A and B are shown apart, each in its own frame.
Chain A
Amino acid sequence: MLQQPELVRLLTEGHLSLKNCDEDCLTGNSQEPKQSVDEEGDPFNFTPQLIHLHKDHEIFEDGDIHRHMYLQDLYISEADDKPPLSVSEFACHISGCSAVFSTLEEYEHHYNSLHRHVCCSCRRSLPSARLLDIHIQEWHDSLFTILAQRQDLYQCLVEGCGQKFRTSKHRKDHLIRIHKYPPDFRFDKTKKDRGTRQMKRQQQKDTAMELVDDVCESEGVGEVMCDVLSNQLEQGESMETHVSEEEAARMAKSASTEEHADLSEAAHSTGTSTEPLKPRYSYRVPTTVCFGHGSVRGFRGRRGRRK
């Protein structure tokens, strides 16, 4: 930051005349052409412009009141007279998530906890990249389904353990026996009233997941899922609808199996969530975009090739 002494020095050091007046004379009043390609539908419409403010403009309000006070011989303490300086708030971009924050850290925490590791297919939010990977693998990967029949592929959720199991039930047993997870630990659907803080604490524990039986089989693993998704979207369905259908299907299944964990309140897009932040994925996902960069692995490379 330019310290005041530096400014003082500049201001008291004689006269700095306007250099490069030539280039101003040459270009005159016109702006330089924008460097980006000026295609049709270029949405960036900022242009430098002179702003003329008329007498009654609201920007002049405070100054006018101050002048009035001076003329009317009313001296006031600054603390009373002026509204205090305020700082811009931050707000979560995800449409439907109305969370607002006063600091960048709060924003980042919220975003990283609830929106960063989001499964493209089922919109669930996972607390970490690793757990997201495991989720995608176990829920949306048909190859995994096939291979898991012959090998132990269900990873222990505790980082560093490294053990693998043939079924999710075996893994759950392991988690309870070896890693001392409580037996009544929530391997089920997430409760709607869970807050962010709780989630952070239970980060390691919540992710026993059920295999999704309705994954289509096809050649390219990742691509299939996304195409299915994008086809559905192109039909004009919102993610919300899609999720609820999936959710309904899963909920029916989870009645029989115990292991149905879901970390994200966000997946309950139609639910009336009661926690304060209420992140709800009731937004429309643009059809050409998959929430890929920070979350869904493997779908990354597909972007741009979809019709």
Chain B
Amino acid sequence: YIQYRDVDHVSSCNAKILGYGNNWQLFNNALRQARRDRQLVSKRLLLNDDEDQPGVTMDTNSGEQVRQILFHKLQHSGPEREGHLKALSKALRDPSAQLTFIKQENSMHLLVGLLTGSDATCRLQAVRCLHELSHSPHTNVAPAFLPATPYLLTYLSGQSTKFTELCLYTLGNLCPDSDVVKEKLLAQGIIPALANCIENQRHNLAVVEAVGFTLSQLLQAKDAAEKIIPMVLASSLPSHLISVLTPDPKFGLAPAIECAWCLHYISCSMKDNRVLLAHGALLQCSSLLVSLGGAVAEGNKEEGMELLICPLLRCVGNLLSSCPVKDLNTQVADIRIVVALCALLQAYLQAQPALARESAWVLNNLTAHSSAFCSALLTLNLVPGLIQLLPFSQGINTMILRVLANVAHKKKELCVQLAHHGLLSALCATLKMADQEMVTLSMDVLSVLVVSGPQVAEEFVRQGGLSLLEAIQYNSEGEIRQRATRLLEHHPLSSSTYCSVKTSVQFALFVEFVLIQNFKN
């Protein structure tokens, strides 16, 4: 069920899933499909000061209302104008009214006129109308904004918090809807404008959050890597984004969340993240994860914490793939990151397995080429906890097994320790799994373990590993059979000391036979 905040919120949520027969699962699936089709567009609605919830007016008259206001009421200047604009903005929350609006000739010009007029309160109400319009689910609304964009950008350097916020969220909502609008915004200098805004309004976290949101929308464009990200990296934005990552205890997580998602969109789109690394992005993100991991381990699950943890994990994961091993000690100075990741793994395993999987992915990238991190897993006694996660599917166990495989590949001494912590018996179980990737990976790990020391091979045999491998030789997959055969024939396992009981009995019978024959003769 949906955790309703109150009646208005219910109607808001219902309106959104109305198109799915109020079927939440259907709605959820539609979102996932939209994402797979790269059509998932997120918009943000900044509520009025007097609003608590995003109530939707199911007023069928709002289209007519819009016409009335535009062609009659707003034609005259005067003190009532503000009231009319307020009514207009309320009416414009209705999607059908939004369509009515853009169909009216000169409607946008009228609003732009009020946006840039001398009356400050009218300006505020006008931008509020534009904001409601920008939130439209109809993609043909955005192109109507072309006359307004240069003014919206100009106002980003203004001083009025509320006004600036509304401009920012309006721009952010427009970006994904129309390539034409996006191109215009880029040409009109949205990136430098955002950079200036975040710089000048550093103290104003509500504005910082809005800048983060707008930038995150821009960064999700299909051609972002070629057109947008280089501009962003060349500006002062990266250092500002990184500095905002540490959440303000009073204001909360929201600005940090937006900036973290920006950094994620940059780092996942680029193969080479040297610029971000140079700005200390990896250092900052990993340090934050250590403190957040500690908070989570202590049970301090502040609401929405995973909204910050998620992009931070992704940044660290992808930045690591650009980071040379020799730089790890400066880029990820605190080795406790592995502890934090294990804490996150355990904490989110049940409630949000996807987050656990992402944590495991980061662990893989940390351990892939670094002996120090591999050793740390053992010295900090994290291996048993990881082994306990091997039963869980949805990609969690394969990633964890990769991590353990990384450790095994580093040093012989580590293999012996891994075996000592129970990896062998875990492998005896994973070798029986239906998931073929798990079986293959398990044998790859085994191949390294059994050559690391005679006691390891013997222990595996003691645990019934040989008969297990023999059974695997009958697997339907050639690659799996190959590995099992190889392990049995070419590894120390084949020289085990197991002896056949029956051989001696056969021999005894044979002897008897010979004796009988001799007796006959």
Contacts and interface: CB of A to CB of B under 8 A. Distances in A.
Interface in A4-53: 4, 6-8, 10-12, 15-21, 23-25, 27-29, 31-32, 34-37, 39, 42-53
A116 to B, nearest CB: 8
Interface string A46-72: 111111111111011111111110111
B521 interface: no
Interface of B is mostly: helix
Interface stretch (A75-83, A184-192, A197-205, A226-234): A75-83
B371 A43 contact: no
B502 A298 contact: yes
A55 B229 CA distance: 14
Contacts of B479: 43
Given A35-B412, A61-B35, A64-B35, A11 B509 contact: no
B411 interface: yes
Given A36-B448, A73-B12, A143 B513 contact: yes
B172 to A, nearest CB: 10
A15 B334 contact: yes
Contact of A1 (B31, B388, B448, B474): B388
A50 B368 contact: yes
Interface in A254-307: 283, 285-286, 288-289, 291-294, 296-298, 300-301, 304
B171 interface: no
Given A11-B294, A50-B321, A62-B352, A300 B432 contact: no
B182 interface: no
A252 interface: no
Interface of A is mostly: loop
B3 A75 contact: yes
Contacts of B265: 55
A161 interface: no
B382 interface: yes
Contacts of B358: 59-60, 63
B466 interface: yes
Query: Is the interface on chain A under 10, 10 to 19, 20 to 34, or 35 or more residues?
Result: 35 or more
A85 B353 contact: yes
B16 interface: yes
Given A48-B368, A55-B268, A65 B32 contact: yes
Query: Is the interface on chain B under 10, 10 to 19, 20 to 34, or 35 or more residues?
Result: 35 or more
A165 interface: no
Contacts of A65: 28, 31-32, 35
A1 B384 contact: yes
A44 B391 contact: no
Interface in A101-145: 104, 107, 111, 115-116, 133, 136, 141, 143-144
Nearest to A12: B294
A190 B405 CA distance: 46
Nearest to B432: A90
Given A24-B325, A56-B38, A221-B506, A85 B293 contact: no
Q: Chain A CB within 10 Å — which of B373, B385, B405, B472 has the most? A: B385
B40 A45 contact: no
A51 B362 CA distance: 9
Given A1-B388, A48-B368, A64-B35, A222 B42 contact: no
B282 to A, nearest CB: 13
A7 B297 contact: yes
Contact of B307 (A66, A78, A88, A298): A66
Contacts of B2: 74-77, 80
Nearest to B320: A50
11 contacts: A2-B385, A43-B479, A45-B444, A48-B405, A55-B268, A68-B40, A77-B2, A85-B392, A293-B498, A296-B502, A297-B501
Interface of A: 1-2, 4, 6-8, 10-12, 15-21, 23-25, 27-29, 31-32, 34-37, 39, 42-57, 59-68, 70-83, 85-91, 93-96, 100, 104, 107, 111, 115-116, 133, 136, 141, 143-144, 146-147, 150, 221-222, 283, 285-286, 288-289, 291-294, 296-298, 300-301, 304
Given A1-B384, A18-B332, A93-B471, 10 more contacts: A24-B371, A35-B448, A53-B314, A72-B42, A80-B1, A85-B392, A88-B430, A88-B434, A298-B505, A301-B503
